[in-house]
Amino acid sequence: MRVAVIRGDLPGPVFLSDLEVVSRFNPPTEPLGQERYITRPTSASFGAVMASYAPANVVSTGNITFPLLINGGNQTLKIKGAAADPYTSVLIPPTTYPSITSLLAAINSVLPAAFTAVPLATSPTLRIALQTTTKGAGLRIQHDSTGGGSTANTPLVLAAGGATFTVPAAATVITATVPVGGPIDVSAATMRTQLGAGLTDAQLLALTNALAPLFIETDVAIKCFQVGELKDLRNAAFNPDPTRIPPIASSPAVIVVADDGTTLFTAPLPLITAAVWNTPVGGITITGVGLAGPGSPNSEVVSTEVKIFTAPDPRLIPQGIITAAVGGVVSATSIVIPASKIPQGLGIGVGTRVQVRFTSLASNQFALT
């Protein structure tokens, strides 16, 4: 999941202290600690990241056909940076190139130092991206049209009419992706629209993390979202300083989205909406949301268990027992306990209450119907 700060009036960064401690973790069995400060990106902070990871780039508009013959009629690539600069004519060595690897090596051997050619991340074996070697807002790259003499446009499948790309200002990208108040969109498609289709995967990840940091969806992180500090920060009633005069409007401080960068992240608390005693077979079917914990079926720490309120003592049926039986099911929306796993002789039937639990979370109690 990704978390983006969408309030512009917070007095400082927000510290998520109910995540795993960064300095204490067991590398073989636990993820790296995730407690951290998160803050709204600014022109200065995001601009600094852009200066390390955002080149100007133009790309192949279609797939290059290999083997590729370069000869005197299609070897010229005309490229420049600033609009006022003259084009530099680059002559790609004529030969037949069997792959994009050999083609890129040849192009880079003749390109000016200000430019480089890399495989296009979204099609790494069939398209190329021409990039500036320096990075940051305001950088510009342009190749001439085929009619203007850039005959290599045709074999490299660059735009026949020429193409220009200028890296936008940091504020422009922030407004387009994580506007104040949301919604946010830091998806790969939107980021490449804003910062160029030629971004490598590493560049894309660094830039996206600077806008909406990525959190591993550990049990602790999900709990933070469900009942912890991320829940409080998502609350429409959140107010960074309720004593301020004049008052500050209440609204969520953050938006949490899935790893895709745009779909709202969901992790509902366990809630039973129906529980049926399957007569005459004698099994139980529970329906609801958030019924499955994130652990493995045999985990005693985070796997789901069903509590049946029998007299005099409630009975617990763990997920591993349920799923080991034929017909046993544990999912986020349904739990089916076969009759063979229901305690016998305890008077279980219509009206008996059941509850779903995992770790410290528990659903409502629901009477069997």
Task: Give per-residue burial for 195-234: e unless 16+ CB within 10 Å, then b.
Answer: bbbbbbeebbebbbebbbbebebbbbbbbbbeebbbbbbb
What is the Cα Rg of the chain in Å? Answer: 29
CA 161 – CA 144 distance, rounded (Å): 7
Same domain, 7 and 39: yes
**Could you tell me if 86 and 171 are in contact, meaning their C-beta atoms sit under 8 angstroms apart?**
no
Same domain, 39 and 83: no
CA 75 – CA 93 distance, rounded (Å): 7
Same domain, 221 and 76: no
Q: Which domain-ending residue is among 257, 284, 310? A: 257
Is 266 domain-assigned?
Answer: no
pTM of the model: 0.87
Same domain, 65 and 149: yes
Which tokens belong to 115?
């430019």
CA 221 – CA 3 distance, rounded (Å): 11
Q: What is the DSSP letter of 22?
A: T
Same domain, 7 and 60: no
Same domain, 194 and 144: no
Q: Which domain-ending residue is among 166, 188, 219? A: 166
Is 262 domain-assigned?
Answer: no
Q: Which domain-ending residue is among 166, 181, 208? A: 166
Counted domains in the chain = 3
Amino acid at 244: R
Which tokens belong to 172?
């422009």
Same domain, 199 and 210: yes
pLDDT attached to residue 359: 81
Q: What is the DSSP letter of 214?
A: B
Same domain, 240 and 294: no
Is 263 domain-assigned?
Answer: no
Same domain, 215 and 354: no
Same domain, 238 and 283: no
Is 336 domain-assigned?
Answer: yes
Peptide bond into 280 cis (omega under 30): yes
Is 142 domain-assigned?
Answer: yes
pLDDT attached to residue 296: 52
pLDDT attached to residue 64: 98
Same domain, 211 and 233: yes
pLDDT attached to residue 29: 67
Is 264 domain-assigned?
Answer: no
Please give the residue range of the domain that contains residue 118.
55-166
Is 294 domain-assigned?
Answer: yes
Domain CATH number, residue 336: 2.60.40
Same domain, 155 and 182: no
Residue with tokens 């639990």: 357
Is 265 domain-assigned?
Answer: no
pLDDT attached to residue 360: 83
CA 71 – CA 276 distance, rounded (Å): 75
3-state secondary structure of 365: coil
pLDDT attached to residue 133: 98
Q: What is the DSSP letter of 305?
A: E
CA 193 – CA 87 distance, rounded (Å): 25
For residue 194, give Cα distances in angstroms to 143, 169, 172.
19, 10, 9
Per-residue pLDDT of the chain (369 residues; tens, 9 = 90+): 999 999 999 988 999 999 988 776 666 766 678 999 999 999 999 999 999 999 999 999 999 999 999 999 999 999 999 999 999 999 999 999 999 999 999 999 999 999 999 999 999 999 999 999 999 999 999 999 999 999 999 999 999 999 999 999 999 999 999 999 999 999 999 999 999 999 999 999 999 999 999 999 988 899 999 999 999 999 999 998 888 888 889 999 999 999 999 999 999 999 999 999 997 788 999 999 999 876 555 554 558 999 999 988 899 999 989 998 899 999 999 999 999 999 888 889 999 999 999 888 999 999 999
